[in-house]
Chains A and B, each alone.
Chain A
Amino acid sequence: MISWLDIIVQGILVGGFYALFATGLSLIFGVMRLVNLAHGDFIILAAFAALAIVQFTGIHPLLCLAAIIPLMAAFGYILQRGVLNRTLGKNILPPLLVTFGLSIVIQNALLLEFSADSQKLPMGNLTVASVQLLPGLNVGLYPLGVLITAAAVIGALQIFLYKTPLGAALRATSDDSTTIRLMGIDNRHIFGLATALSFAVAGLAGVLIGGYTNFSPASGPSNLLFGFEAIIIGGLGNLWGTLIGGMILGVAQAIGAEINPGYQVLAGHIAFLAILLAAPRGLFPRMA
């Protein structure tokens, strides 16, 4: 009995990672209907950037966040203003093609610089520490911390989006990116800010996942897929729904892995398809 409870709890904790992958994707899609196919690769790029900093300076990977998050945000803003804004329009194909191209470029650039070897950020004792939730039920301190971080990030974003004037401008831009200009707000700048936020979360996600599992230059697309699935399960436009979507995906994968280690990823996809069949708009849809 306790072993199944254990499996479910471990799955829920992994959901924190998926929610972090998904939050960045969701922000960009929500504000400008842009599907960033390179999102998973930007997460891995952040992990490699952290690896380079750790190898160069010897500091703890979590301390790298102080540099990685602002760097990724600045990179996101520049990428949006310089490249992605030019792809936006009535046709949805150009942004897909450009981000797909970016995905290939990032993977190959990382391959060139870091080789195809699997890497891991050295988190030290943090990843082996555990806390006891119930007698006989121990959970890893690190994934628990990640889940709490994901919830905190989503909570902070909710407050930003719903309680601040800039958040209102982002929601208004999401509604109608032409009419927002009649308010004296430059939609190109708002798009840049949305991508900056998305990349800041991707930077956080990259460092955290890099300390939890092995990663290589080719790891990006699977992160992207899990992020997509978490968003769709939770319902488009609902960040808390995305967190729950990530947890459902994590639990399905944990149960699959228990039945047969080869079923881990498959079980997640099956759960995703089953939910899509039962509730095509996700469990908690907000966006029309």
Chain B
Amino acid sequence: MIPLLETTGLTAFYGDFQALFGIDLAVRPGEVIGLIGANGAGKTTFLRTVTGLLPAAPDAIKFNGQPIGGARAEALVKRGIAMVPEGRKLFPSLSVEENLSLGATVKRDGPWNLQKIFQLFPILEERRKSPATKLSGGQQQMVAIGRALMSNPALLLCDEISLGLAPIVIADVYRALPAIRAAGAAMIVVEQDIAQVMRVADRLYCLREGRVVLEGAAAAMNRHDIAAAYFGAVA
């Protein structure tokens, strides 16, 4: 089976600074990948490269078998890659509904529309006319996820959707993931909260200093392996 997304020897740079040193990663259709690692390990850089916000060599990233490295971000959204960016990045001048509708600009066919998003997160229907940044942190995260889903992505990239949220709110946000997965999207979930990501991911990749230092089925991993990979220390 052709992987939905496959990166081969993916490198990324910020000017002279190299942030990724040859990442090999694959996502199969419908699969949920957990991507973990300390701050600065390259998780966000990896997502920004896959979405086209950072340049990459054409063959380093394949989507449905086609080389897409270095394609423009807006073209990749049309092909089915959507991202929930770190820090949510909602548009403060726009209402909740306008933020969500903007996500549907590319008009891809699929299960998600405004009604379905409101079923997934009923609170957003109540707050649909509010300015997006007047909502609580958890509700804003729901808008960010909904906005990405509105493009009906084949691959949804979630960058630290628990960041800055209270544990009870994180549980609320994560409760939506099974429904998103059931609707057919594959996911890469970047997360600091390892226990959380192990519950939702099929497979885990751990990055350290721009390299993959651990990969495997989430169920087969133990905390000791992860801690060793995460910190690079021999415990």
Interface residues of chain A, those whose CB is within 8 Å of chain B, are: 165, 168-169, 171-172, 174-176, 178-187
Contacts and interface: CB of A to CB of B under 8 A. Distances in A.
Interface string B89-128: 1011110001101110110000000000000000000000
B73 interface: yes
Give the contact-size bracket for chain B. 20 to 34
Contact of B101 (A165, A176, A178, A181): A165
Given A178-B53, A181-B74, A172 B89 contact: no
Contacts of A169: 102, 105
Contacts of A180: 91, 102
Given A178-B53, A179-B85, A185 B105 contact: yes
Nearest 3 A-B pairs (CB), nearest first?
A184-B77, A184-B106, A181-B73
A8 to B, nearest CB: 35
A175 B72 contact: no
Contact of A176 (B73, B83, B89): B89
6 contacts: A165-B105, A171-B94, A178-B53, A180-B102, A181-B73, A184-B106
A186 B74 contact: yes
A206 B103 CA distance: 38
Interface of B: 51-53, 72-74, 77-78, 82-83, 85, 89, 91-94, 98-99, 101-103, 105-106, 147-148, 151
B80 to A, nearest CB: 10
B77 A171 contact: no
Nearest to B107: A184
A158 to B, nearest CB: 13
A175 B106 contact: no
A105 to B, nearest CB: 31
Contacts of B52: 181
B83 A182 contact: yes
